[in-house]
Amino acid sequence: MPSETYQYFKAGSMRPLAVFSKKRLPDLPNVPTLLEKGINFTDSSTRAIFAPKGTPENIIKVLHDGFKKCIEDKTFKAMFKKLNEPVAYMDGKSFQKILLEQKELYGKVLKAVGLSKK
């Protein structure tokens, strides 16, 4: 659930109807998932760091190691938990797999609503 809306749900000024995750969110246990509502769709917010094509491997390693260390830091995790934003480290190859899956999924969605490239 995006942190941008979470504060409104907790304050009671907005009411979530469902979440896109595979499981109910711990902080909103009474809000069902789309799967529970019979809609076969899941999704999640993604944050990632990219480098330009051709970036030297030694620079990629420095960036990778630095961001991994940051993501695994207790203070960083606590800050994101307060925002109700899950934090999970993923290496480049694993994330590339996720991106390709999302590309396929959203390609189907765009085609279904008539917005695909001809």
- Would you say residue 89 lies in a domain? no
**Cβ count near 98 (within 10 Å):** 13
Percent of the chain past pLDDT 90, that is, above it, reads: 51
Count structural domains, the chain: 1
- Would you say residue 27 lies in a domain? yes
Output the pLDDT for position 56. Answer: 98
- Would you say residue 105 lies in a domain? no
pLDDT in tens, 10-40: 888 999 999 988 999 888 899 999 999 999 9
Give the relative orientation of helices 57-71 and 74-82 as an angle to the nearest 10 degrees.
60
How far apart, in whole angstroms, are the C-alpha atoms of residue 39 and residue 20? 10
Which residues form the domain of 29? 1-43
Q: What residue type is assigned to position 9 of the chain?
A: F
- Would you say residue 12 lies in a domain? yes
- Would you say residue 100 lies in a domain? no
This model's pTM is above 0.85: no
Output the pLDDT for position 86. Answer: 77
pLDDT in tens, 65-106: 999 999 999 999 999 888 777 788 898 889 999 999 989 988
- Would you say residue 56 lies in a domain? no
